[in-house]
């Protein structure tokens, strides 16, 4: 995966459990707000290992692709349904199945 800068790549490889979102250049960027929100609901300790998530917004049905560096950091989200995938390819294919833009009208 491509990261927005070397710091974010290092944080993903060796840092604490964190949330990364794709930015407008389609590269992964550490998101402090989402990470702090997740840590506030699930303070850890967190298991090592990266996973990919699809989050389906409860209000709009929009499906967002999210990368987290621990499978225990985001097991649920207050404003979205969560699905977990082992690889980017699996998560991206599942998201693509919802069309463009990726919207799923039914809760998971």
Q: Mapped to the 3 state alphabet, what secondary structure does the chain carry?
A: CCECCHHHHHHHHHCCCCEEEECCCCCEEECHHHHHHHHHHCCCCCCCCCEEEEEEECCCCEEEEEEECCCCCCCCECCEEEEEECCHHHHHHHHHCCCCCCECCCCC
Reported as a pLDDT band with limits 50, 70 and 90, residue 54 is: very high
Average confidence score pLDDT of the chain: 97
pLDDT band per the 50, 70, 90 thresholds, residue 1 = confident
Please state the pTM of the whole predicted model. 0.95
Phi, psi of 83 (to 5 degrees): -125, 140
The domain locations on the chain are: 6-96
């Amino acid at each position: 995966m491509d990261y927005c800068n070397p710091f974010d790549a290092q944080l993903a490889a060796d840092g604490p459990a964190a949330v990364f979102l794709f930015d407008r250049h389609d590269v992964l960027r550490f998101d402090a707000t989402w990470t702090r929100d997740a840590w506030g609901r699930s303070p850890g300790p967190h298991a090592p290992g990266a996973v990919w998530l699809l989050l389906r917004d409860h209000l709009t049905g929009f499906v967002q692709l999210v990368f987290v560096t621990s499978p225990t950091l985001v097991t649920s989200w207050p404003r979205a349904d969560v699905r977990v995938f082992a690889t980017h390819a699996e998560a991206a294919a599942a998201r693509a199945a919802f069309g463009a833009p990726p919207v799923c009208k039914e809760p998971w």
